[in-house]
Amino acid sequence: MINFAIVGMGHIANKHIEAIEKAENANLYAICDNNPARLEIDKPNVKKYTDLNTMLEENPDIHVVNICVPSGLHAALTKIVADHKRHIIVEKPMSLKLQDAEDMIKYANENGVKLAVVHPNRFRPAIQKLKAEMDKGSFGKLSHANATVRWNRNQAYYDQAAWRGTKEFDGGVLMNQAIHDLDLMLWLMGPVESVQAMAATRLRKIETEDVAAAVVQFKNGALGVIEAATTIYPKNLEESLAIFGETASVKISGRNANYIETWDIEGVEEDEAEKVKEEIKEDPFGKPGHQCIIEDMVLALKENRNPIVTGEDGLAPVKLILSILESAETGKKVVIK
């Protein structure tokens, strides 16, 4: 049994609690938050702390710590956990600064602990189908990809907490909402070589962008188009990922990119393609992504391997987003090194 602890008992912590409780060979051992009121949950067998160092020092049986605090604090807490020789699962984005993300990977490596980043959309059934086809080479030479996030986050959402929408602790639509889609785009298409972008704060009273658009060129020569917004009225409209190649066109869409809209692959008959679409419709969400992340960490410890979503995987979309924001600010194309 692998004992998990959670630090940061805000909204996202509920998903982690549920995931740990559903996962095989996982046990919620302790929780931590500097606000005692957030520790008042009905879990009598779970230890509760207001200080992370104290929790780790008093409980050597904690194997993994899930970091669920505001994004700007991820690096500092990762160092504390790594220095205590505990494994780490950190919420997305892993950091808001490139140096912090690189330091987090260094902290884990220096202390011999595993670092996983929460990018749960990789485990969605439709995405898994697409990944399998790409691994088979079904697309031939890649042409381009498109990632679209047209969502609503109204002012009340940002006003729920003072850190939301800030540059220091939260980030904007790219870091918070579109980062999942950018992770998928990079996972499927490979690394980006350069980006040209624009971003703006149009409707929300926040420090960061609420709408952004970018064109990227991947190192394999393919192009990509990114559109991300939290300004859509009056509710979430669309999240989609489309990939086009010499011998395939696939689009996964819906409000949360769970359904296959287009499945045109050379050699796949129309009735077979419709069957694939219907299979996904029957179970569009699959096993919850957070549960997959927890179970993968359990197996990674048992098998002594890296997690499926490593620190390096978490670093890649952060680097891309920072490059997009740099291009938007300077008005110039940014080459990603």
What are the extents of the domains in the chain?
A: 2-120+290-309, 122-287+318-335
Give residue 314's pLDDT. 98
Q: What is the pLDDT of residues 32-50, one digit of tens each?
A: 999 999 999 999 999 999 9
Give residue 166's pLDDT. 96
Pairing of strands 142-150, 223-229: parallel
Partner residues linked to 250 by β-bridges? 243, 263
CA atoms of 175 and 317, how far apart (whole Å)? 9
Calculate the CA dihedral of residues 54, 58, 15, 229 and round it to 10 degrees.
30
- Sheet of 2-7: strand order equals 47-49, 26-32, 2-7, 64-67, 87-90, 115-117
Architecture category of domain 2-120+290-309 in CATH: 3-Layer(aba) Sandwich (3.40)
Give residue 233's pLDDT. 98
For the chain, what percent of residues have pLDDT higher than 70?
A: 100
Tokens at residue 72, please? 């700007």
* Residues near 36 by beta carbon (within 8 Å), at least 6 away in sequence: 50
Please compute Rg for the chain using Cα positions. 20
Partner residues linked to 301 by β-bridges? none
CA atoms of 173 and 242, how far apart (whole Å)? 20
Q: Which segments in the chain show pLDDT lower than 50? A: none
User: Could you tell me the end-to-end alpha-carbon distance of the chain, in angstroms, rounded to an integer?
Assistant: 41
What's the chain look like in SS3?
Answer: CEEEEEECCCCCHHHHHHHHHHCCCEEEEEEECCCHHHHCCCCCCCEEECCHHHHHHHCCCCCEEEECCCHHHHHHHHHHHHHCCCEEEECCCCCCCHHHHHHHHHHHHHHCCCEEECCHHHHCHHHHHHHHHHHHCCCCCEEEEEEEEECECCHHHHHCCCCCCCCCCCCCHHHHHHHHHHHHHHHHHCCEEEEEEEEECCCCCCCCCCEEEEEEEECCCCEEEEEEECECCCCCCEEEEEEEECCEEEEEECCCCCEEEEEEECCCCHHHHHHHHHHHHHCCCCCCHHHHHHHHHHHHHHHCCCCCCEHHHHHHHHHHHHHHHHHHHHCCCEECC
- State phi, psi for 116 to the nearest 5 degrees: -120, 145
Sign of CA dihedral 70, 73, 78, 83: negative
Query: Residue 232 to residues 51, 175, 335: CA-CA distances in angstroms?
Result: 39, 17, 30
* Residues near 132 by beta carbon (within 8 Å), at least 6 away in sequence: none
Q: What is the pLDDT of residues 147-179, one digit of tens each?
A: 999 999 999 999 999 999 999 999 999 999 999
Tokens at residue 228, please? 């991300």
Judge if 2-120+290-309 and 122-287+318-335 fold alike in CATH terms: no
CATH class of the 122-287+318-335 domain in this structure = alpha beta
